[in-house]
A and B are shown apart, each in its own frame.
Chain A
Amino acid sequence: MNIMEPEGIKKQAYDEIETALNSADLEAVRLKYLGRKQGKITLALKELAGMSVDEKRKNGPFLQQLKSDIESAISFREKEIGEKGAVIDVTLPPKKIEVGHLGLITQAEDEIRRIFEGMNFSVIDGPEIEEEKYNFDSLNIPADHPAREMWDTFWLKTEGKKKYLLRTHTSPVQIRYMERHEPPFQIISPGRVFRYEATDATHETNFHQLEGLMIGKDISLANFKFVIEEFFRRFFAGKTVKVRFRSSYFPFVEPGVEVDVKLDNAKWLEMGGAGMVHPNVLEAVKYDPREWQGFAFGFGIERLVMVKYGVPDTRMFMSGDLKFIKKF
């Protein structure tokens, strides 16, 4: 190689690189110029060793530059060949991405909160171990009366006089809230409740309820119907929703109603209890029932979720079955 003609060599090398059609051709070009034993540039660089300092200074950088130019041209062409050459099968199945999953109860609770916060309801928390007073007495559920048997109760061992239990419903939050706040207001309280009963597809010992309470000067049953229809419409979005009331009895409301929902043309489904807050409950928190009135309601969150997603068995929520959890 005549090192005095570098531009010619460069052009020749570039031509060969560009016309190489596959990686074997390209490898041949690489060996021709850069091969460790026979490569033209390699040999020229070796020759350089025997030259004078002046010549070295003149040609050295120059040859190095040439070497690196050819290297990068080869690697550029390598990529081009690679892209053109390989056939990509885009019908390959998706790669499994491991992501986490929120429980359905959480998803429902978050959605419920958003819907009610959108209607200016505050979301309030309450204790799961509750005093007998808040769970029963203040809610107009007298001691030593069979009405109390509507709630099968887990009692806690205690040495003191005050009796504690696992709250059987979220309704005690009504009392706790009213004790500390003045009306008017509207709140919901989602949370865990407990019932001492045998489990089956529709009964669990630990489950979740959604409590609601709205108090004002003239909050009526018709207002409740509006709020609850609005809630169901948003929660069961995409379905036509009909709501009806049936007469029922819960000691803390008067009148008391059972709330049924019909989605599209399916059967009527019992969703929960509601009614106008009983004057005895208002009096228990020192509200004047002649001045204030309003509605309260309680729904099972599992029930809402089962209807929405078609979950057949309420025990699945507490099962810790990851196959179930990863489905949603």
Chain B
Amino acid sequence: MKFSYSLIKKFSPGLPAKEKFAEDLAHKSFEVDEISGDMMDIKITANRWSDAACHRGIAREAAAIYGLKENLPPVRELSKKKKGADMAEIKTGDCLRYTAVMMEIKKVGTSPAWMKKVLETCGQRAINGVVDILNYVMLETGQPMHAFDADKVEGKIMVRKAKKGEKITTIDNREIDLSPDHMVIADQKKALAIAGVKGGKEAEITDKTKRVIIESACFDAGAIYRTARDIDLRTDASQRYGHGMSPFTTEIGAGRAISLIEDICGGEVIGETDVYPKKQPKTVIKFDIDRFSKITGVVILKDKAYMILRRLGFKVNGSGLVEVPPERMDVTIFEDLVEEVIRIYGLDAVRSVPPTISLHPAHSDGSFAYKERIKNAIVNAGYDEIYSYSFGEEEGNGIELQNPMNREKRFMRASLIPSLKKVIDGSSKSFDDIKIFEVGKVFEALDKEHWSFAVAARSKKSDQMFRELKGAISEVAGKGGIVDISFRKDDLSSDNRLVINIDGKAAGILEVADGGKVAYVEMDMEKMMVSANEEFEYKPISPYPSIMRDISVWVPSGVLVQELVEAMELSEAANLEDTDLIDYFSDNGRTAVTFRVIFQSYEKTLSDAEVDVEMGKINTVLRGISGVEIR
């Protein structure tokens, strides 16, 4: 929000130079985004619009920071006489206060140079005397103001809900459709303005205007916020009301506007109405200096705290009861006072103090340590970690964003594989061999997501990358505490796909693409974790030597290695420890497969003769598979 430094300084004489002021403000109140000439762009936090989004408010901050004496222009009180007391009425609870002042003016005229300068610094255009004064009053006091040409208003002003189908044309000629969710300022015939948002064309001030009705009002924050969003019309006024204004500021705005119109436009008040059905209650909070220290860890004198609060406009009595200034809508509880005192006193006073705690053992969620374990294992196998977006164009489980950045990023991912694919496609020009992985959340339903672990390998030279990947995954599973992992081609899956089982249950898939040059694995990391957490028994290493035998067979096309391995495992050959595929090549429609079969006893040294018997069983089962020949 743009401010005029010289106007702040006029209200807080003795203010240091802009740069120094900006630095101190950034420490104690608000960040300053930009300084340019007289302009300071101050970032008013969302909680402080009711008091600080105006020059008076910032001047008060400055006075509190530097201990300056404010020099604010006096505010003319609303007359007690209540001339024309029935000029306006409120028909909805969303209007908290409505002040209407009718003034006769000599001329609309133009605003004085000093005022134009302030408007310009704050990014506003000069229009005419009356409008400029009202805009200036908003910059000075924070109160949005509006004026109607009194001679175009027919009968009493009403603040009411819009009627179904009611329309209004704004002063910038936009026709807006309204509904009973919105609030209007109307006369007896028509809507004059969208309350708290924008004035209408009907009773607009022109050069010919002789009598004006000045409006200074307060509306419910949520109501104005919703309206502005609904009709997609954000104005200075709607922003201010949307953050929440104090009904107290209404009279400050009205008072200042009256004085300035009297001075500049030769105006004279001919009627005043102030409808204020429910007075804003006073907020009084007990300040407890011990509790202040308990929260901040900073010890200060009680009187010092009171002094800071007083400088900020709070009234403090001897027993520590603090009355909050009405425009400080953000201060409602003791902790808010703590913030007021510590920020002005200086947050640098907070020293580091080690906490004293009773020793409760940490109980971290297991996913973090397990992620680290799996990631380290796959990195050791030579894979690089990627991070990618959680949303993409694949429909996944149909979880869709209402407001995606673009169509390519509209679904929450159900698999990490598309992200890996994208990286492989994007990197294959620069790299012959790509080995990557990602660990990330995948989404099953709005309230169901799990950690997924996906790996991809691609090589320009090899068309057996799935074997590479099977090896890597087996290794990672081992390091990840998984004892029983197997890759299974089930009848349902396609030729290029395997199911990965952990403890006999499906926990992932392996996919082969691009003629074997690329392979992907994706596993449910949470299923891996469950398996890793189950106890497993230590299997001793046999002290006896193992015996290896190689067996080569010809197999016809259509018979898979998986079938041969299963047959061997089911052959009932005793002491069969492992079967390793050591050679595999195709020739004339059949394939030569060589296994190294390892026998191992945990009780004795096996003799050749004993192993021969078991090999015989293996030969028999292999020969039993149709078309298989022993080479």
Chain B contacts of A313 at CB under 8 A? none
Minimum distance in angstroms from B168 CB to a CB of chain A: 22
- When C-beta atoms are compared, the residue in chain B nearest to A219 turns out to be B355
Please tell me which one of the listed residues A227, A245, A325 contacts residue B386 in the complex, with CB atoms under 8 A apart.
A325
Chain A contacts of B29 at CB under 8 A? 247
Chain B contacts of A103 at CB under 8 A? 385-387
Q: Do residues B222 and A144 form an inter-chain contact, with CB atoms below 8 A?
A: yes
Q: Do residues A225 and B351 form an inter-chain contact, with CB atoms below 8 A?
A: yes
**Which one of A11-19, A25-33, A54-62, A250-258 contacts B?**
A250-258
Q: Do residues A214 and B402 form an inter-chain contact, with CB atoms below 8 A?
A: no
Interface residues in B, total, Cβ within 8 A: 91
Counting chain B CB atoms within 10 Å of each CB, which of A184, A192, A249 scores highest? A249
Q: Do residues B385 and A196 form an inter-chain contact, with CB atoms below 8 A?
A: no
Chain A 146-162 residues near chain B, CB threshold 8 A: 146-147, 149-150, 154-158
Q: Do residues B382 and A320 form an inter-chain contact, with CB atoms below 8 A?
A: no
Chain B contacts of A123 at CB under 8 A? 362, 364-365, 368
Chain B 358-396 residues near chain A, CB threshold 8 A: 358-365, 367-368, 372, 375-376, 378-390
Given known contacts A229-B352, A249-B48, A166 and B297 CB-to-CB distance under 8 angstroms: no
- When C-beta atoms are compared, the residue in chain B nearest to A100 turns out to be B379
Given known contacts A106-B385, A155-B402, A276 and B443 CB-to-CB distance under 8 angstroms: no
Q: Does A36 contact B (CB under 8 A)?
A: no
Where chain B touches its partner, the secondary structure class is mixed
The distance in angstroms between the C-alpha atoms of A184 and B360, with both chains bound, is: 8
- When C-beta atoms are compared, the residue in chain A nearest to B436 turns out to be A322
Minimum distance in angstroms from A7 CB to a CB of chain B: 38
Q: Does A121 contact B (CB under 8 A)?
A: yes
Q: Do residues A216 and B357 form an inter-chain contact, with CB atoms below 8 A?
A: yes
Q: Do residues A247 and B242 form an inter-chain contact, with CB atoms below 8 A?
A: no
Please tell me which one of the listed residues A106, A121, A155, A322 contacts residue B403 in the complex, with CB atoms under 8 A apart.
A155
Chain B contacts of A320 at CB under 8 A? 386-388, 419, 422-423, 426-427
Q: Do residues B375 and A106 form an inter-chain contact, with CB atoms below 8 A?
A: yes
Q: Does A206 contact B (CB under 8 A)?
A: yes
Q: Do residues B355 and A255 form an inter-chain contact, with CB atoms below 8 A?
A: no
- When C-beta atoms are compared, the residue in chain A nearest to B386 turns out to be A320
- When C-beta atoms are compared, the residue in chain A nearest to B377 turns out to be A100
- When C-beta atoms are compared, the residue in chain A nearest to B437 turns out to be A100
Q: Does B69 contact A (CB under 8 A)?
A: no
Chain A contacts of B338 at CB under 8 A? 254-255, 276
Chain A contacts of B26 at CB under 8 A? 246
Q: Does B226 contact A (CB under 8 A)?
A: yes
Chain A contacts of B399 at CB under 8 A? 129, 156-157
- When C-beta atoms are compared, the residue in chain B nearest to A216 turns out to be B357
Q: Do residues A245 and B351 form an inter-chain contact, with CB atoms below 8 A?
A: no
Q: Does B617 contact A (CB under 8 A)?
A: no
Chain A contacts of B351 at CB under 8 A? 222, 225
Chain B contacts of A113 at CB under 8 A? 364, 368, 372
Chain B 243-298 residues near chain A, CB threshold 8 A: 243-244, 294-298
The distance in angstroms between the C-alpha atoms of A173 and B409, with both chains bound, is: 25
Q: Does A101 contact B (CB under 8 A)?
A: yes
Q: Do residues B384 and A196 form an inter-chain contact, with CB atoms below 8 A?
A: no
Kindly list the 8 A-B residue pairs having the minimum CB-CB distance in the complex, ordered from nearest: A222-B297, A255-B339, A249-B45, A100-B379, A247-B343, A220-B297, A226-B352, A320-B423
Instruction: Give me 16 other A-B pairs in contact (C-beta within 8 A), A100-B385, A245-B348 excluded.
Output: A100-B380, A100-B384, A124-B365, A127-B449, A129-B443, A149-B46, A155-B402, A192-B390, A206-B389, A220-B353, A221-B350, A222-B350, A254-B333, A317-B387, A320-B387, A323-B430
Query: Which positions in A face B, CB cutoff 8 Å?
Result: 98-103, 105-106, 109-110, 113, 117, 120-125, 127-129, 143-147, 149-150, 154-158, 164, 166, 184-186, 190, 192, 194, 196, 205-206, 214, 216, 218-223, 225-227, 229, 244-249, 251, 254-257, 276, 278-279, 293, 317-318, 320, 322-323, 325-326
